[in-house]
Structure 1
Amino acid sequence: MRGRDDEWTDLMRSANAGDGAAYHRLLKSVTPVLRAGARQGLARAGQSPDQAEDIVQDILLAVHLKRQTWDANAPFAPWLFAIARNKLIDALRKRGRRIFVDIDDFSETLASEPPAEPLPSVDIASHLDDLTPRQRDVLQSIAVENASIRQTAEKLSMTEGNVRVTLHRGLASLAAKLREE
Structure 2
Amino acid sequence: MKTHLNLFIAFFRSGILGFGGGPSAIPLVHKEVVTTFKWMNDDEFSDVLALGNTLPGPINTKMAGYIGYRVAGVTGMINAVLSSIVPSILMMIVLLTTLTTFKDQPWVAGMTKGVIPIVVVMMAVLTWDFLKKSNQGLGWKISISILLISYLLIELLHVHPGIIIAVLLSYALLKPTKKQEMVKGKEGAN
Which has the greater radius of gyration?
A: 1
TM-score normalised by the shorter chain: which range applies?
under 0.3
TM-score, normalised via structure 1 length = 0.27
Greater relative contact order (Cα < 8 A, sep 6+): 2
Greater helix proportion? 2
- The TM-score, its normalising length taken from structure 2, stands at 0.26
